[in-house]
Structure 1
């Protein structure tokens, strides 16, 4: 397996991990709105940035193949070859996709508890929750309020190009690392973000970057992985632009809180219309968030957030909701219950 790019970078080294489609489907997970740094660079191949490196991933039968590109030289020329792969790069992918979690067993457990889950499970195998860098996940999801996936992806790309370190260029497209906290805490960071089209979110991105940098730091954010779910959510909700839904997204997708169920109007509608749950009254209040999360945790168990990710994927692919509804997963917070919107 070889891939040559127009820039001259030719990754000669590919490495494979054992990973059947029932445990991971790249085509379902990577474009589902969990992360915003991946694109389908050719049929079946996904290229993106992970852990400060540029990767291409693809699946063949029961193997997950990957290559990692070398960084540019100081004069801007590509190194011309992939970086050597090793047990370290294997572990980065295993950690990112949480491959130590047996997904097929979870599907069986959820299906036994929930007939509605059984209806979609066979058509949507391998939907996993990613384990992302907490800083990147936090600042990315602040950008999701009142937004849709394609626009969020473009915003994150502009953010990385403006503030992140350049890694390499493939097929004429430059790739950049996600910005460090320090890069986003300068006096003119908010103005720069507004110029990049972030609107009111510019204040929240720069404000949260500054609050984390001056408070618990990136290391402290990572340490929330070991904290109880309620404590992690409380710390996150104290940050500028972070409400209950965004906090739950970060808890689920970066802080190892598999029980976190991000709730917006879309999830609320699923709970009420498909499950007949009389939850939340007439508006999506903090109490409603808690009740709906508790309902799904009671139904699906300790990995309730993972089960919800499968249903989201099913909605997206089957078109069960109006056009663009999956994007509305990031639009539907009522102002009475979340601090993610404009003020």
Structure 2
């Protein structure tokens, strides 16, 4: 099909990346999903996905064989030359965020060879890969996830941005009848004041309000703030990518409101710890149902540290180095909201409404039992450790060149 007007095209089959699965399965909660006019041709994109970064809104559409992308910028609009440079930055960001250097079908083949259960879902649930998110946003999002469901987490994260981050720009929806404002994710300094707790409680965050404010304050107290650009605490969180998994987990567990499950979500989804499997009741039930793990299929067993470690270790032995990635495929395949999904028809129909509590209500972690008040010990150095995020470094160099 032809590239949509204003978009750039990146050849990429759905088996490498399915936006309809990856952006709806509980990894990230800030993507806006807008329906496109319903096409008669199934190869034509049916949805547009938008995410507000600090300096642009990234807009994506997808066909069976290509990912289409463009960026929208606040005033003043870049010149044609500047726009070309900035779209190159967007492409670098896309490659990093979706980890497109990883050959996903090759991993699927390896998992299917090791696991007959995975082999049974491989064809239908292709294109599900882990995102490489900003660690600060990922941390706060999963503090919000405690004892919560995907739709409510999404509402909370979006209200957090609206309340504490000025709108970057506004864009019309795809019908042209309504305009939407897009807000970046707020930095730690914006959430560190004591008044944040009261405001977030008024917005429906409950006990999570205090966890968010205290976590932000811990970061700011130790690492400080700067006037422009990314804050030192954000750079410190990103530097955890360079630590061993156990050491990085220890650092995350120092935050108020972060237990083992939340820490493991952050390790997997933003800190490059691809072998980590976040374990909750839903994952435990998958282990019982498919992998001979002992336990009751009905009812909830308490998720003790010992049980958590046993489930994690068993699944890692089955799937290997990219066990966290494999788990996300099985996790998604078991969701009721994906009952009609297939990578050949990646826009699942709406699930049948039920008066019973959906599985989505219990997918995410319960509140940590003993949040640690320990202050962070690691100080930010004058020169932050070199990040493994090479594309971000290149984008920063491009920005410096523009300012010369």
Deviates more, 1:107-116 or 1:270-279: 270-279
1:261-272 matched pairs, under 5 angstroms: 261-272=277-288
TM-score w.r.t. length of structure 2: 0.75
Instruction: Summarize the Cα distance change of 1:151–1:273 in structure 2 as closer, same or farther, 3 Å threshold.
Output: same
**CA-to-aligned-CA distance 1:69-118 (integer Å, 9 cap, x gap):** 11146xxxx99999544322111000000000110110001001111111
Other structure's SS at 2:206 match:
coil
Which position in structure 2 is the counterpart of 1:97?
Answer: 98
Query: 1:312–1:326: 8 Å Cα contact kept in structure 2?
Result: no
Alignment RMSD? 2.7
> Cα offset for 1:330?
1.1
1:65-214 matched pairs, under 5 angstroms: 65-72=68-75, 83-84=83-84, 85-171=86-172, 172-214=179-221
Q: 1:334, 1:163 → 2: CA distance?
A: 24
Which position in structure 2 is the counterpart of 1:295?
Answer: 314
| Unpaired segments ≥5 residues, structure 2 | 36-45, 173-178, 224-232, 341-350, 373-404
> Cα offset for 1:169?
0.9
Query: 1:70–1:80: 8 Å Cα contact kept in structure 2?
Result: no
Instruction: Summarize the Cα distance change of 1:161–1:19 in structure 2 as closer, same or farther, 3 Å threshold.
Output: same
Matched, 1:233 2:249: yes
Other structure's SS at 1:86 match:
helix
> Cα offset for 1:315?
1.3
Larger radius of gyration: 2
**CA-to-aligned-CA distance 1:227-275 (integer Å, 9 cap, x gap):** 1111111111110000000000000000000011001111111112221
1:20 to 4, 13, 16: 13
Deviates more, 1:141-150 or 1:270-279: 270-279
Which position in structure 1 is the counterpart of 2:50?
Answer: 47
Q: How many residues align?
A: 326
| Unpaired segments ≥5 residues, structure 1 | 4-11
Instruction: Summarize the Cα distance change of 1:279–1:214 in structure 2 as closer, same or farther, 3 Å threshold.
Output: farther
Other structure's SS at 1:166 match:
coil
Q: 2:92, 2:367 → 1: CA distance?
A: 39
Q: 2:278, 2:48 → 1: CA distance?
A: 29
> Cα offset for 1:213?
2.2
> Cα offset for 1:162?
0.7
Which position in structure 2 is the counterpart of 1:8?
Answer: none
Which position in structure 1 is the counterpart of 2:39?
Answer: none
Other structure's SS at 2:168 match:
strand
Which position in structure 2 is the counterpart of 1:325?
Answer: 359
Query: 1:315–1:326: 8 Å Cα contact kept in structure 2?
Result: no
Instruction: Summarize the Cα distance change of 1:208–1:324 in structure 2 as closer, same or farther, 3 Å threshold.
Output: same
Q: 2:273, 2:108 → 1: CA distance?
A: 18
Q: 2:304, 2:261 → 1: CA distance?
A: 11
Other structure's SS at 1:247 match:
helix
Q: 2:154, 2:107 → 1: CA distance?
A: 30
Other structure's SS at 2:67 match:
strand
